[in-house]
Amino acid sequence: MQKRLVINNELGLHLRPAGELCTLAMEFESKITIHFRDREFNAKSLLSVLSACVQSGDEIVMEFDGLDEEEAAARISAFIDGMR
């Protein structure tokens, strides 16, 4: 399952929201991957998420693969949509 999401936080995925995203992603058994600029990043790894250098207004594709992928997609999408 994939979701296209736009980062609305004016600072992008900097340390605090990246850490919160990783903490949330680790709650799920599913593999969660961020696709950005033809690269893949592990959403459960803070260093991986930070290395993506996602800025405000950037569109990312989140991929969810596993038994709890629907719940993971819903909760992570809500988290990203709520970042301001």
- Residues annotated as catalytic (active site), given as ranges: 14
Report the DSSP beta bridge partners of residue 65: 31
**Biggest CA-to-CA distance, the chain:** 33
